Amino acid sequence: MARLELVHKKLLDEWKKDERRNIQLIGEILKEAKLFSLTFDDIFLKHYSIFILGDVFEIDAMYALLCEDFERFNEAITVVLNFYNSYSSASQSSNKYLMVGLDLMYLLATNRLAEFHMLLEQIEQSVQETNPYITTPVYLEQSLMEGVYNKVVLTEGNIPSPFYSIFIRILMDTVRGEIASCIESAFKRLSVRDAAQMLFFSNTDDVIPFTKQRGWQVTNGVYFFNDEKPSEVCLKVFSNSMKLSFNRVFRKNQEYIWTPNELLSKIYFMQSSLK
């Protein structure tokens, strides 16, 4: 037990350094700490605090995100949630809803929506409505389903934990990929400035690397695309069913969302102005 307490203290001391953490050292300490967990049984856990193991399992999940190792995160978060379910005292952890929220974000970012809703059903309604760790993934899922993608962008600046940012980035990559595919089908040409606006980039410098990866050709500040008819899916993105807002407009933290007709008018205007 004394050895475990020493390892636990070393782990917490390094983890609390935040930006100054030695990630490699944390990985080594976690490996040592988890070896202890393999030898524990219920008798041990009844006589000694299980909070030590709770800390180890929770930090392991967050460590996986710092390493952007999603396979490890999936395994680690499963261990954490099972640990909560197995020991009532463990479920009182102050990090419980952070862990649950991270799992929700992971399921949403990997498009595992059935599992997302199954996990959500296990959470009390009052917690779903008031706890920021839970309300954030719920809000994001609703925004994605409604196609109001600029709400995803707005959420990026108001996340309850920095560990959410990696999932926001994944969601934004997915959103931008979908929008870019539709732009490629719906437009013959599009200015770099308007492309940046549609893809939710704050400036044209940020949009260039993204469009370069997709092989977009630019001449004199204008992208040119093959002359193809928009697919049915893309027409939906640009029209009523998705009610997609391409514009990032911030006016004292208020968001402006185009109506479908306004959006279509904007698209037609942009196309005609480039002819």
Q: Report pLDDT digits (tens) over 231-265.
A: 555 655 554 323 443 333 333 333 444 444 444 45
Helix pair angle (165-186, 132-146), 10° resolution: 10
Range of the domain at 164: 152-275
Alpha helices in the chain, H assignment, sequence order: 2-15, 23-37, 42-47, 51-66, 70-86, 96-109, 113-121, 125-130, 132-146, 150-156, 165-186, 192-198, 204-213, 232-238, 260-273
* 182 domain-assigned: yes
pLDDT, tens digit (0-9, with 9 covering 90-100), for 192-226 = 999 999 999 989 999 999 999 999 999 999 999 87
* 266 domain-assigned: yes
Question: What φ, ψ does residue 250 adopt, rounded to 5°?
Answer: -115, 115
- The strand pairing partners of 191, in sequence order, are 222
pLDDT at 13: 97
Considering only 112-126, 149-163, 237-251, which range has the smallest mean pLDDT? 237-251
* 38 domain-assigned: no
Domain count within the chain = 1
Range of 6-10, 11-15, 183-187, 227-231 with top mean pLDDT: 11-15
* 82 domain-assigned: no
Considering only 98-112, 165-179, 255-269, which range has the smallest mean pLDDT? 255-269
* 216 domain-assigned: yes
- Whether the Cβ atoms of residue 201 and residue 213 lie closer than 8 Å to each other: no
- Alpha carbon of 8 to those of 4, 18, 226: distances in Å? 6, 17, 59
* 13 domain-assigned: no
Q: Which residue has the higher pLDDT, 47 or 241?
A: 47
- Whether the Cβ atoms of residue 8 and residue 48 lie closer than 8 Å to each other: no
* 44 domain-assigned: no
* pTM assigned to the model: 0.80
* 146 domain-assigned: no
